[in-house]
A and B are shown apart, each in its own frame.
Chain A
Amino acid sequence: MQKVIFNEEKCKGCELCTTVCPKKIVYMDEKKINSKGFHPATVTQQEECISCGFCAMMCPDVVIEVRRPSKEGKKDE
Chain B
Amino acid sequence: MKVIFEKPKSLEDVTFHYCPGCTHGIIHRLIAEVIDELEIQEKTIGVAPVGCAVLAYDYFDVDMHEAAHGRAPAVATGIKRVHPKNVVFAYQGDGDLASIGMAEVVHAAARGEKITIIFVNNAIYGMTGGQMAPTTLVGQVTNTSPTGRDVEHSGYPIRVSEMLGSLVGPGNSMKRVSVHDPKHIGQAKKAIKEAFINQIEGKGFSLVEVLSTCPTNWGKTPVEALKWLEEKMLPYYPLGDFSPKEGV
Chain B 23-56 per-residue mask, 1 if CB under 8 angstroms from chain A, else 0: 1111001000000000000000000000000000
- Complex CA–CA separation, A38 to B20 (angstroms): 10
Flag if B20 contacts A51 (CB, 8 Å): no
Stretch in contact with the other chain, from B127-135, B150-158, B218-226: B218-226
**Cβ 8 A contact of A53, one of B4, B26, B222, B223:** B4
Which single residue of chain B is at the shortest CB-CB distance from A5? B6
Tell me whether A60 and B22 are in contact in the complex, defined as CB-CB below 8 angstroms, given that A19-B223, A69-B1 are known contacts: yes
Does B21 contact A62, Cβ atoms closer than 8 Å?
Answer: no
The one of B11, B18, B186 in contact with A60, judged by C-beta atoms closer than 8 angstroms, is B18
Contact mask for chain A residues 42-70; partner B; CB cutoff 8 A; 1 contact, 0 none: 00000000010110111111101111111
Question: In the assembled complex, which residues on chain A have CB atoms less than 8 Å from the CB atom of B15?
Answer: 10, 61
The A interface is mostly helix, strand or loop, or mixed, namely: loop
A65 to B226, CA, bound (A): 23
Chain A interface size band reads 20 to 34
A67/B2 contact (C-beta < 8 A), A10-B15, A60-B18, A60-B23 known: yes
Task: Give the distance in Å from the alpha carbon of A60 to the alpha carbon of B4 in the complex.
Answer: 17
Q: Which residue of A lies closest to B221 (CB)?
A: A15
Mind listing 25 A-B residue pairs with CB under 8 Å?
A12-B19, A13-B20, A14-B21, A14-B223, A15-B223, A16-B223, A20-B181, A53-B4, A56-B4, A57-B26, A57-B186, A58-B181, A60-B22, A60-B24, A61-B15, A61-B16, A61-B25, A64-B5, A66-B5, A67-B2, A68-B2, A69-B1, A70-B1, A76-B1, A77-B2
Tell me whether B21 and A68 are in contact (CB under 8 A). no
Task: Write the nearest CB–CB distance from A16 to chain B, whole angstroms.
Answer: 6
B21 contacts A51, C-beta separation under 8 Å: no
Q: What's the count of A-B pairs with C-beta under 8 Å?
A: 80
When the two chains form the complex, which single residue of A14, A57, A67 contacts B185, counting CB atoms closer than 8 Å? A57
Residue of A nearest to B185 (CB): A57
Complex interface: chain A residues within 8 A of B25 (CB): 59-62
B247: chain A residues at CB < 8 Å are: none
Write the nearest CB–CB distance from B113 to chain A, whole angstroms.
Answer: 30
B235 at the interface (CB under 8 A from A): no
Cα(A15)–Cα(B220), bound, Å: 13
Given contacts A15-B223, A60-B21, A61-B25, contact A53 B16 (CB under 8 A): no
In the assembled complex, the Cα of A16 lies from the Cα of B223 at a distance in Å of 6
Q: How far is the CB of A71 from chain B (nearest CB, A)?
A: 10
Min CB distance A58 to B, Å, is: 6
Flag if A65 contacts B3 (CB, 8 Å): yes
